[in-house]
Amino acid sequence: MCVEVAGVPALVYSAVDPAGKGIGKYLLEVLGGSIVREGADSKVMMLRGLNALLVEISEDIIYAENLDNIVPEASIYVFLSRHSAASGIKSLTTHHTGNPSGDAPFGGRPYELCIANPPLAYSFLRGLTEARVRHGLNDFRVTYEVTHHGPTGLSRPLTFIEIGSSESEWVLREAHEAVGEVVIEALKSLGSVRCVASVGVGGPHYAEGFSERALRLGECYGHIIPRYALKTLRGDEATLRRVVKAAILKSSIPTERVVVMKKVGAAVRRAVKEVAEELGVELIIA
């Protein structure tokens, strides 16, 4: 399900999210903008210096399943967001959305994945790694997160970029500037990104192993199915194969490689191998 849609990128944030709102404010300051249309629960602005839309919505963006109707001219979505973690670890992250298991506690539908955008998330990962140093955010961790939460049913590729993990970081001007700069540069260079479109299987929520591979080997990850989601699929190989197949197919560009962490277990490796062979995708056991 590779998707290529004419239109302009839409950068989306929630009015109730201090991180997303701060990034949006920075983008308006440096790019300039004007309101295109305004509704009861949304405001759509044109960013003059980027040829992109900036969209403010009233609800939390993980529940924004109606966005296709709010921004029908969007070609891709970039969600500007806060990241929450009980650990309080400072972080700059990027990921795609979806519920690989039968649970959907934070938006979206069970067993449904968004259309991922591997080159864009790869550009975000690389850009955040550099921007962290440039803006004095050296104590922030930069990493992919795994596929999780909503929205899951939108018709355009969707990528999150986030500031975490507490209020102190969400309101930090340096973090807003770092993320804003990365988004601008990534969108300007998106068509020139060269990488190996990949899907990850296994590992913890903070996908540092896949992040390291991306930066070292040029693998750009779309969906990453974590170990904790795989555990819920244990004993149901038919559903597991269906989820892995969706992870491979729901991408803005054709997936070339599936990387499986060794610790996932023989049953998972077997199911992934079958799907990879069926779809003609390279399989790597890492």
The per-residue DSSP string of 81-93 comes to: EEEE-TT---EEE
Q: What is the mean pLDDT of residues 181-209?
A: 96
Q: Give me the pLDDT at residue 5, please.
A: 58
Q: Give me the pLDDT at residue 86, please.
A: 80
Q: What is the mean pLDDT of residues 196-203?
A: 98
Q: What is the mean pLDDT of residues 89-114?
A: 96
The rounded distance, in Å, linking the Cα atoms of 277 and 138 is 42
Percent of the chain beyond pLDDT 90?
93
Domains and CATH numbers, the chain: 8-192 (3.40.630.50), 196-285 (3.40.50.10700)
Q: Give me the pLDDT at residue 2, please.
A: 54
**Cis geometry, peptide bond prior to residue 226 (ω within 30 degrees of 0):** no
**CB of 266 within 8 A of CB of 202?**
no
Q: Please, is 35 exposed, middle or buried when counting C-beta atoms within 10 Å of its C-beta (0-12, 13-18, 19+)?
A: exposed
Cross-strand pairs, 142: 92
**CB of 79 within 8 A of CB of 63?**
no
Q: What is the mean pLDDT of residues 129-157?
A: 97
Beta strand ranges found along 129-239 (DSSP E):
141-144, 158-165, 196-201, 219-225
Q: What are the tens digits of pLDDT across the range 218-235?
A: 999 999 999 999 999 888
Q: What are the tens digits of pLDDT across the range 250-281?
A: 999 999 999 999 899 999 999 999 999 999 99
Confidence of residue 85 (pLDDT cuts 50, 70, 90): confident
Largest CA distance in the chain: 55
**What is the pTM for the complete model shown?**
0.97
Q: Inter-axis angle of helices 237-249 and 266-279, to 10 degrees?
A: 50
**CB of 93 within 8 A of CB of 162?**
yes
Q: Give me the pLDDT at residue 39, please.
A: 92
Percent of the chain beyond pLDDT 70?
98
- The residue with tokens 């991306």 is 214
Q: What is the mean pLDDT of residues 127-137?
A: 97
Q: Give me the pLDDT at residue 148, please.
A: 97
Q: What are the tens digits of pLDDT across the range 5-57?
A: 569 999 999 999 999 999 999 999 999 999 999 999 999 999 999 999 999 99
Q: Specify the amino acid at residue 181.
A: E
The rounded distance, in Å, linking the Cα atoms of 20 and 37 is 20
The rounded distance, in Å, linking the Cα atoms of 189 and 246 is 27
The rounded distance, in Å, linking the Cα atoms of 196 and 257 is 7
Q: Give me the pLDDT at residue 32, please.
A: 97
The rounded distance, in Å, linking the Cα atoms of 67 and 256 is 29
b/e 112-124 (16+ beta carbons within 10 angstroms → b): bbbbbbbbbbbbb
Query: What are the tokens at 234?
Result: 């244990």
Task: Please tell me what DSSP assigns to residue 146.
Answer: P
**CB of 172 within 8 A of CB of 163?**
yes
3-state secondary structure of 198: strand
Query: Across the chain, what does the average pLDDT equal?
Result: 96
Confidence of residue 98 (pLDDT cuts 50, 70, 90): very high
